[in-house]
C-alpha cells in the first residue's frame, strides 16, 4: 500500500506530521509534509497512515493499494 499527499490541496494544518512523525515530516520551506515512508509494509505504518488521512482537514492524504 502507498501513502500519498496531494500538495495542491494541503492547507498546511500540520496535523499529519505532528501526529505521525514516523511517516511524515514538515518541509521547512513550504510547511507541507514530506513523505518519509511511501511504501507501507507494516500493519503499524498502514494504521498510522489511515489515521493521518482521517485527521487531515483538507483530505489531502490518501492510502491506496
**CA-to-CA distance for 9 and 13, rounded, in angstroms?**
11
**CA-to-CA distance for 41 and 30, rounded, in angstroms?**
28
Q: How far is the CB of 41 from ligand SF4 (least distance, A)?
A: 21
**CA-to-CA distance for 65 and 58, rounded, in angstroms?**
21
* Residue 40 is a binding residue for ligand SF4 (CB under 6 A): no
What x-and-dash track marks residues 1-30 binding ligand SF4 by CB under 6 A?
----x----xxxxxxx--------------
* Residue 63 is a binding residue for ligand SF4 (CB under 6 A): no
Phi, psi at 4, each rounded to 5°:
-130, 150
Give me the residues that bind ligand SF4 (CB under 6 A), please: 5, 10-16, 32-33, 56-58, 60-61
Amino acid at each position: 500500500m502507498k501513502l500519498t499527499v496531494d500538495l495542491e490541496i494541503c492547507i498546511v494544518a500540520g496535523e499529519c506530521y505532528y501526529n505521525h512523525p514516523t511517516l511524515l515530516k514538515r518541509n521547512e520551506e513550504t510547511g507541507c509534509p514530506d513523505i518519509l515512508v511511501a511504501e507501507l509494509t507494516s500493519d503499524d505504518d498502514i494504521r498510522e497512515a489511515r489515521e493521518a488521512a482521517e485527521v487531515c482537514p483538507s483530505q489531502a492524504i490518501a492510502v491506496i493499494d
